[in-house]
Amino acid sequence: MAEMDLCSMYLTELEALFAAWSEPKFRAKQVFSWLSRGARPCEMTNLPRALRERLETLTFGSAVLYDKRISQKDGTAKHLFELEDKNLVEGVLMRYRYGNTLCISTQVGCKMGCAFCASTLEGCVRNLTAGEMLGFLSAVERDEGRGEGHGRAVTNVVLMGSGEPLDNYDNVVRFLRLVSDKDGKNISPRNISLSTCGLVPEIYRFIEEAPHVTLSVSLHAPNDALRDKLMPINRRYPVAALLEAANAYALKTGRRVVFEYALIGGLNDGRIHADELSDRVRGINCHVNLIPLNPVPERGLEGVTRERAEAFAAWLSRRGVSATVRREMGTDIEGACGQLRRRVLKEITAEAETQGKGAGQ
């Protein structure tokens, strides 16, 4: 096995490593439990010092909190995490009555090229490891002062941040197994959602191999002519093939698939689109989640009013398709994918330039 980051390892892999190091097996469980709480080896107080030191020689592979903005409107917290190679990635903690949902990123940037999204503007820098994704959770729990005995700061996880999760398939499946492990974070797959722009072959693989989480499919258009314009991936996997894969997921897992539909003013928000959409998805065990587009200045597309979104939902419901309008959260703190990272990167670059010119502190 190529050397793996400590935070990405399964319990069984830690056990194999500790067997090779002639350490007793129970130590692996201790370490796994510490890691799931975000502890570094030096903090693992119930381990012998020699073992802590040996663990320090491995790559840790986690993430630390770099910046945080809290919405004055709804308490949503947007986090920026720093990885060991200094890359920055986003996460958002949304507070609901039933618990807190952490939205995490799966890649630094994204290469899918969707026309409305900020994450993809500079392409994909690299995939995140499973340990880094877990690290976001631990960092948020520590920041919230919880994670140990005082209830959970994070009850639900959505893979809906920057990046395309199924384009980072192996690490994402590893993350899902780790985060739902009973000896680790123990978050039930029922409380996890994964959102994809529609990598059809990976959806079929995912059905067979991964924990049965809720699958969200970013549809955004009811036909190929429109979807081709918004999402380049559609030219490879058109709407019909994507809907078939989504239906297969719903049938195999018994779980309702969610279709995400960002309403873009004057483009996909008409009655005609609602009718076509309902005709295409009606036979699938699904729910349509309508999101008024969060306009990204660089992209030149418009959102819709709340009233328009409600009307679109009503058109779908009348034709037998369950639909709701997503509550917009954190719009005052650059909640749209990739926006905060871009802002902070710009600030850092601007600062570096000023310092370079000798004008800064």
Marked catalytic residue, from 90, 132, 202, 260: 90
7 is an active site residue: no
In 3D, which of 242, 215, 323, 228 has the Cα closest to residue 278?
Answer: 323
Q: Which is nearer to ligand SAH, 150 or 326 (CB)?
A: 326
**Interacting positions 252-281 with ligand SAH (CB under 6 A):** 260, 262
Which of 9, 243, 296, 309 binds ligand SAH (CB under 6 A)? It is 296
User: How deeply is 46 buried, as exposed, middle or buried, from its count of CB atoms within 10 A (0-12, 13-18, 19+)?
Assistant: exposed
Number of residues near ligand SAH (by CB under 6 A): 17
Residues 310-339 that bind ligand SAH (CB under 6 A): 336-337
Angstrom distance (rounded) from CA 309 to CA 136: 32
Binder to ligand SAH among 7, 14, 210, 291 (CB under 6 A)?
A: 291
Residue whose token pair is 């809907």: 243
Positions 88 through 147 that interact with ligand SAH (CB under 6 A): 114, 116-117
Q: Which stretch binds ligand SAH (CB under 6 A): 49-57, 87-95, 290-298, 306-314?
A: 290-298
Beta-bridge mates of residue 222: none
Lookup: tokens for 234: 């559609």
Considering only 193, 214, 218, 253, the residue that binds ligand SAH (CB under 6 A) is 218
Site string for ligand SAH, 186-205 (x = CB under 6 A): ---------xxx--------
Q: Which two tokens stand for residue 118?
A: 């900020």
Strand (E) positions, the chain?
63-70, 77-83, 88-96, 99-104, 107-109, 124-127, 156-159, 192-196, 214-218, 257-263, 286-292, 323-325
90 is catalytic: yes
Q: Which residues bind ligand SAH (CB under 6 A)?
A: 114, 116-117, 160, 164, 195-197, 218, 260, 262, 291, 293-294, 296, 336-337
| Catalytic residue annotation | 90, 337
